[in-house]
Structure 1
Amino acid sequence: MILVAIAFLVLLAMGMPVAFAIGISGAIFFVQHPELPFTIPVQVTVSQTQNFALLAVPLFILAGNFMNRSGITEQLLNLALVMTGRLKGGLAQVSIALSALMGGVSGSAIADAAMQSRMLGEPMIKRGFSPGFTAGVLSFGAILTPIIPPGIGMILYGSIGQVSIGRMFAAGIVPALMLWLALTVAVWITANARNYQPERKSRVTLKELGTALRGGIWALLFPVILLFGLRAGIFTPSEIGAFAVLYAIFVGVIIYRQLKVKSFAEAMEGSLGDVGSVMFLIALSAIFSYGIVLERVPEAIAGAILGLTDNLSLIMVLIAISVLIAGLVIDATVLIIMLTPIFLPLIRSLDGDPVHFGIVFIIAATIGNFTPPVGAAMYTVCSILKVRIGDYTRESIPFMIAVSLVAIILVFVPAAALWLPKLLFG
């Protein structure tokens, strides 16, 4: 498997699409083992796509694209402004709140970062925020999106690791609120140091609050309905994905009346590209995973880690650090697909809770989207706002510290992630 890993890294460095890099490097394993039938790569690739639980992935992607074009974003922006507009930091605080509110809508950190950069990037810079700080806020704020249900990373982790997706959805709520608070404090500290003013001076009236809540209530209800449907046994994770699509169409057509024929077609077109790239990646990862299992790589890694310590919390810290380092060069989705079968068995062997580990793992993997050298959300924001990577990196240090502190707290305080799943699911 060493040659396979080297081939994967070399192909990535050459700029090959990740899915092909995974598939080709995985095929090298079979070249090394001519005793294995070469029909196996084809069989495992096809069988990987037959996993019924993965049906939730394209359905939630489609629902997210419909919601993004339903007109709900403007309503949530108004709600975020009402909630946080009087805090020091103005639009920076609004952007963090909007990321939290948008979590149940898009499910994609990169999509959220791109959307907010186009909406709030230029207004923030015109109000005196430094370009690097603006890019850092808009990028790191998007880490909330995949943690709030229905995050695609949770669905992938649950499907691959055979972990309850309903529990994963519930487990993401409290950590997302903790991340929101940590990022809000980081923005507030910087805003006080630089005298970044609030967006609004006057107090929010009850009428303004009521109007804003009415406008955003359909997005706020979305994750609540998902959790209720799963808890009550009304839907399976795959079925609730279909419900999410119908809900998004209902909101866009009936409630906000902005999901027209053109925007409907745009949502379908965008979803085809998103679903194709994710599912192709999942399918070809089966070739890579086959060699990992056959060579007993999880057992070897588990043995190496257990040789250092058998303390579950310390092992989770080591795994989080390893995932964070890997995330510097590999996309979060790829990390979840590739590393879940390696690390999750180790956590289970130590009687660790797979839901608790999943939240820490997903946060650690997602951080890579916002850090050099290949962070997708980072490059998206910096390219839209024309900000230099060096300026972005320097100004993002407070947000990196805030997110890392939350991840450490979650490792040593499992109840923060497990309290709500236990309350809802027992």
Structure 2
Amino acid sequence: MFLAILIIAFICLLLLEVPIAFAVGIATLLAAISLGDTDVLQNIASDMANSVSSFTLLAIPFFILAGDLMGAGGLARRLINFASALVGRIPGGLSLVNTLTCMLFGSISGSAAAAVSSIGNTLIPEMNKKNYGKDFNVAVTTAGSITGLLIPPSNSMIVYAVVASGVSISSLFLAGIVPGLLLGFVLMVTCLIICKKKGYGQDTAGQTVAFVPAFFSALPSLLLVVIVLGGIFAGWFTATEASAIAVVWSLLLACVFYREIPLRELPAVIARSARTTGVVLFLVAASSAMSQLLTAEQVPQLVSATLLSLSDNPIVILLIINIALLLVGTFMDITPAILIFTPIFLPVAIDLGMDPIHFGILLIANLSIGLCTPPVGTCLFVGCSVGKAKIAEVSRAMLPFYIAMILVLVAITYIPSISLWLPSLFE
């Protein structure tokens, strides 16, 4: 009964357009009341407070601030020039520049929505001028943005590591590199096929810039990834300490080296990061309370037993999990989905002999696709807003990219070495 109340209340609140954090919290409260919990408010408040009292989670606000500093500090323009120097000469090159820049920016900022906004504001109008299809331009930016959730540093990986206790953040970061690069490569191939078929961008005149100045202009920003990941993998500092170093480096670039952010505008950037952090951590707190309730009522064990009773074939079970997560991703943001469904599906994956690191990459790759799908896809909505396009039309233009993303998801699911090869080298 409590599970029915939880699900029905959550869906009804979503249909009423209640913010997802409040929908999760209210549904959890109603379900707990149905169980006869006399101290329900105290217990839920305690679960929410304890869930965000984590040293590891401190990395999230720091990476958010570093991303905002980079976004306001002229990073996008320099990365676009660098990407143009690399692939701008290829027919359809602006779509490749778009995807490659999203990969670079997303890996540095750790935010898919920020990648859509920052890159889209510059490249979508430019692609429109070059007579690329308007809906295609938004679709390219939207699809490319999610690569940054797999290429570290990634806030989603940090959230997963907190929920799946015992999983190393540095190993997760390593595991995401090859899948992220693979996804970016497949998306770029998809762009080339569409551009060739529809005749987009066959005239590449004026799309390239000189490589050497573009490289040196972007180098300080690219060094952020080297410093953060190199320091973590070398054991010089933890992921949380690395996030603080990322803020210092971003601040130096934005205010001293690039001089794109005057000191008088710095408080506004910090305030914007604080608001984003508040939203994310409230999502973490509410989702953790729901996760605690589900765990206490042994829902993960019930789901595990049910799935394993359907089949003992790992291929079939993983297919069912992927389909379920794809459906979840269409109406739930990635952070609460990771917090709620990791405790449910991770035990099943472990029973199948799956490495928790491999499952984490599968989970993040799967739920990232939901950011590009209606009705709740954050990146899709941001892209349509930036590109002034209709969601229905962009969703049709997204179809080839959905196919490409699902093909990569299948590869990640059934070829563990894609995710586990790099971590195995550093063991």
What is the TM-score of this pair, normalised by structure 1? 0.95
- Displacement, 1:298? 0.5
> Gaps spanning 5+ residues in structure 2: where?
none
In structure 2, the CA distance between the partners of 1:199 and 1:311, relative to structure 1 (3 Å rule), is farther
Instruction: Tell me which residue corresponds to 2:100.
Output: 97
Question: Which one-letter code corresponds to 1:303 in the other structure?
Answer: A
Task: Answer yes or no: is the 8 Å Cα contact 1:26–1:291 preserved in 2.
Answer: yes
Instruction: Tell me which residue corresponds to 1:141.
Output: 144
Q: Could you give the per-residue CA deviations for residues 42-94 of structure 1, whole angstroms, max 9, x where no partner exists?
A: 21111112122111111111111112122222111100111111122132111
Larger RCO of the pair (alpha carbons < 8 Å, separation 6+): 1
Instruction: Tell me which residue corresponds to 1:46.
Output: 49
In structure 2, the CA distance between the partners of 1:25 and 1:224, relative to structure 1 (3 Å rule), is same
Instruction: Tell me which residue corresponds to 1:175.
Output: 179
- Displacement, 1:198? 4.6
Supply the distance in 2 between the matched residues of 1:327 and 1:238 (Cα, whole angstroms). 27
- Displacement, 1:202? 8.4
Supply the distance in 1 between the matched residues of 2:368 and 2:95 (Cα, whole angstroms). 21
Supply the distance in 1 between the matched residues of 2:127 and 2:45 (Cα, whole angstroms). 50
Supply the distance in 1 between the matched residues of 2:126 and 2:233 (Cα, whole angstroms). 42
Supply the distance in 2 between the matched residues of 1:135 and 1:153 (Cα, whole angstroms). 24
Deviation larger for 124-133 or 312-321: 312-321
Instruction: Tell me which residue corresponds to 1:341.
Output: 343
Deviation larger for 379-388 or 319-328: 379-388
- SS in structure 2 at match of 1:327: helix
Deviation larger for 269-278 or 33-42: 33-42
Instruction: Tell me which residue corresponds to 1:290.
Output: 292
Task: Answer yes or no: is the 8 Å Cα contact 1:90–1:199 preserved in 2.
Answer: no
Instruction: Tell me which residue corresponds to 2:8.
Output: 6
- Displacement, 1:262? 3.5
- Displacement, 1:240? 1.4
Within the candidate set 257, 272, 275, 1:273 is matched to 275
Instruction: Tell me which residue corresponds to 1:406.
Output: 408
Instruction: Tell me which residue corresponds to 1:194.
Output: 198
Instruction: Tell me which residue corresponds to 1:311.
Output: 313
- Displacement, 1:37? 2.4
In structure 2, the CA distance between the partners of 1:122 and 1:350, relative to structure 1 (3 Å rule), is same
Matched, 1:113 2:116: yes
Within the candidate set 142, 152, 156, 1:153 is matched to 156
- Displacement, 1:221? 2.4
In structure 2, the CA distance between the partners of 1:199 and 1:348, relative to structure 1 (3 Å rule), is farther
Q: Could you give the per-residue CA deviations for residues 292-349 of structure 1, whole angstroms, max 9, x where no partner exists?
A: 0111110111111111223334323321211111111111222112111111122123
In structure 2, the CA distance between the partners of 1:218 and 1:422, relative to structure 1 (3 Å rule), is farther
Supply the distance in 2 between the matched residues of 1:348 and 1:198 (Cα, whole angstroms). 49
Instruction: Tell me which residue corresponds to 1:257.
Output: 259
In structure 2, the CA distance between the partners of 1:10 and 1:91, relative to structure 1 (3 Å rule), is same
Instruction: Tell me which residue corresponds to 1:165.
Output: 169
Instruction: Tell me which residue corresponds to 2:222.
Output: 220
Within the candidate set 123, 127, 138, 1:124 is matched to 127
- Displacement, 1:204? 7.1
In structure 2, the CA distance between the partners of 1:148 and 1:115, relative to structure 1 (3 Å rule), is same
Q: How many residues align?
A: 423
Supply the distance in 2 between the matched residues of 1:418 and 1:368 (Cα, whole angstroms). 24
Deviation larger for 307-316 or 171-180: 307-316
- Displacement, 1:178? 0.7
In structure 2, the CA distance between the partners of 1:295 and 1:211, relative to structure 1 (3 Å rule), is same
- Displacement, 1:218? 2.2
Matched, 1:68 2:71: yes
Instruction: Tell me which residue corresponds to 1:354.
Output: 356
Question: Which one-letter code corresponds to 2:106 in the other structure?
Answer: G
Supply the distance in 2 between the matched residues of 1:254 and 1:67 (Cα, whole angstroms). 12
- Displacement, 1:285? 1.9
- Displacement, 1:407? 0.9
Supply the distance in 1 between the matched residues of 2:202 and 2:96 (Cα, whole angstroms). 9
Deviation larger for 230-239 or 133-142: 230-239
Supply the distance in 1 between the matched residues of 2:252 and 2:107 (Cα, whole angstroms). 16
- SS in structure 1 at match of 2:371: helix
